[in-house]
Chains A and B, each alone.
Chain A
Amino acid sequence: MTFIFRNMWRRKGRTFLTIFGIVVGIFALTVLGGMTARMDQQVKGMKGFITGKISVAPEDSGAHVRMRGGGSSYMDLSTARAIEKIPGVQTASGMVMVQLKSAEGLSAPQMLVGYEPPADGGMFKDIKMSQGRELKAGDTDKAVVGSVLATQERSKVGGPITLKGKTYEVAGIMDATLGPTDAWAFVPYQDGLNTFLAANPFIKDVQLVQSITVLPKPGADIEALAGTIQKDIPGVKTTSPVQAEKQISQMTTIFSAIILGIAFIALFVGGLSVINTMIMSVSERRREIGLKKAIGATTSTILREYLGEAAMIGLFAGAVGMLAGLLAISALNRATHANNVVIFAVTSTVILGPVIFATILASLAGLFPALRAARLNPVDALKEE
């Protein structure tokens, strides 16, 4: 270790430049990693909402019952009743959504969701209530609130919450999922519809729904059921849980590609500069390597020493780049915190990933120069001027 540290700093300028090159790459990797981690959280949170459900939306053309308003297609609530008649369907809940506040950064918009609660609840199977209960059929003027919205509105179970000018009693507050539903409020369908119609005065129809969420009976084949609904109900498009997950994971693909791209650039630039630095070090220290071998150092001792130096450059640069990235993430998150927006997430992968990556990268890049050093013939090396 003594050798490694002191040797690293013999050519301060050169070592600094090499480390700086890697730091830049690792900084970018950490920041983008934080962004991806946040995206992942959103996706996982969303998955909790879609698991075990079939989502039914109007098809673009030929809908069973369709109206046009603001460029969107709608269905009639009767479509939900028609779906409920299909064998294997437990309940079909019509939904209508109104935006409370638009999206900021990577955060989901705040939404008011009007839906028909199933008689025995169970609409949010994978999302637990931290307080209170889910909505039940027959509830009026009651709301279930997502964790972020609840914090923002200082909501308490049994207390009031005012959404788009209407005051509801908070029936339940959902556990944080880190997904978009954290910023949503769920109210009975009719209340949601009234708010929706008030926000869209040009729509005169009364029983419209934007989507229908279908819960299957226990033991029913949910994928097959999605196909049956698609086939039997004209003008609708069903999305099964498997399809929904596929759609969501596509969202993260582009981010993963960017991360891979940055990693590749870091690999290329950082790797080359480590190779260059280590080759220079070995060339300058040929005589020293000869001396060490003369007094008993083995090939593996020299190999370890030089590999250690390369790995240390990677570890140091990785740690500095990661810390700089975390500082940037923390500053950006603080800047957007006032608006309840979280753009970056810090997970153990975001912290350890770039450091491990940089260390392995530098070690691999140092392997060739280290082997060259280790294989030097001591007699030849000692003759060097």
Chain B
Amino acid sequence: MSIVTTEALTKIYKMGDTTINAVDGLDLSIDKGEFLSIMGPSGSGKTTLLHLLGCLDVPTAGKVNIDGVETGDLSGAALASIRREKVGFIFQEYNLLPVLSAVENVELPLRYLKVKPAERRRRALEALEKVGLSDRARNRPSQLSGGEAQRVAIARALVTEPALVLADEPTGELDTTNTVRIMDLVRDLNRDFQQTFAIVTHDPMVAERTRRIISIRDGKIESDKAVA
């Protein structure tokens, strides 16, 4: 069953007289429980594709369907609601709020979903437990290592149990040991909870740990293959 489908998805940027087809008529389908990576060189359009899939950006043409919802004609508020309910994001630089503790950072998406405080805290602690950071719940981001901070960000992406988790270079700031740890964690979460992950990366080591690699060049799919 498809969680995400795109049809002739196109994003064109105009910079002065230059037109850039960041995503160029792309057709894609991601099934529930998939664990895939989107690879490509810098400027290939992989991050733009991620933003379009996550309703952070709107396409110039074409369609995106997330968990049965056509996102093409939705208002800004409706797109925010899709992001709240159906998508989880993991960023390269973690993007944790420095004034909040780890558990408060994880609670943040639940706040926007208007979940009651006690329930929020319970679910946030549960998510932290999944990523093995229960003992660091009260720490501020400045008191966490890079690997720990990224695990908090993963817990934040999972806490709403979204249909799709999108990760943009999630190991870009980490050393090899932590990269392996994070990828193992994400793979376990995919396996244990059937959580769908789409990971944008330019690191072959990361891509090889997923089960499907989509290569993109000039906004088009160059190859789409399963990993043995």
Contact = CB atoms under 8 A, between A and B. Distances in A.
A284 to B, nearest CB: 11
A290 B100 CA distance: 16
B77 interface: yes
B51 A379 contact: yes
Contacts of A301: 112
Contacts of B57: 379
A296 B95 contact: no
B56 A295 contact: no
A3 interface: yes
Q: Which one of A3, A290, A293, A295 has the greatest number of beta carbons of chain B within 10 Å?
A: A295
Interface stretch (B79-87, B122-130, B189-197, B219-227): B79-87
Contacts of B89: 294-295
B24 interface: no
Contact of B80 (A2, A6, A288, A293): A293
Contacts of B205: none
Contact of B104 (A2, A298, A378): A2
Q: Which one of A6, A292, A293, A294 has the greatest number of beta carbons of chain B within 10 Å?
A: A294
A207 interface: no
B69 interface: no
A190 interface: no
Interface in A277-309: 287-288, 290-299, 301
B56 A296 contact: no
A2 B120 CA distance: 14
B109 A296 contact: yes
A374 to B, nearest CB: 11
B54 interface: yes
Nearest to B86: A296
Nearest to A290: B95
Nearest to B108: A295
A6 B98 CA distance: 10
Contacts, number: 60
A166 interface: no
A228 interface: no
A298 B100 contact: no
A7 interface: yes
B56 A294 contact: yes
A291 B99 contact: no
Nearest to A9: B99
A382 interface: yes
B97 A288 contact: yes
A3 B83 CA distance: 21
Nearest to B95: A291
A298 B80 contact: yes
A379 B84 contact: no
A10 interface: yes
Interface string B29-67: 000000000000000000000010010110000000000
A299 B76 contact: yes
B91 A382 contact: yes
A291 B88 CA distance: 11
Contacts of A2: 100, 104
B84 A296 contact: yes
B156 interface: yes
A382 to B, nearest CB: 7
Nearest to A6: B99
Q: Which one of A294, A296, A379 has the greatest number of beta carbons of chain B within 10 Å?
A: A296
B54 A294 contact: yes
Given A294-B56, A295-B84, A287 B109 contact: no
Given A301-B112, A379-B51, A295 B100 contact: no
A348 B131 CA distance: 55
A14 to B, nearest CB: 15
A309 to B, nearest CB: 12
Contacts of A7: 99
Interface in A1-57: 2-3, 6-7, 10
Contact of A295 (B51, B98, B109): B109
Interface of A: 2-3, 6-7, 10, 287-288, 290-299, 301, 378-379, 382
10 contacts: A6-B100, A294-B83, A294-B89, A295-B83, A295-B88, A295-B109, A296-B84, A297-B112, A301-B112, A382-B95
Given A3-B97, A291-B91, A295-B156, 10 more contacts: A3-B100, A10-B99, A293-B83, A296-B83, A296-B84, A296-B85, A296-B109, A298-B76, A298-B112, A379-B57
Interface of B: 51, 54, 56-57, 76-77, 80-81, 83-85, 88-89, 91, 95, 97-100, 104, 108-109, 112-113, 156
- 8 smallest CB-CB distances across A and B, nearest first, come from A296-B84, A6-B99, A296-B112, A291-B95, A295-B109, A298-B80, A296-B83, A294-B89
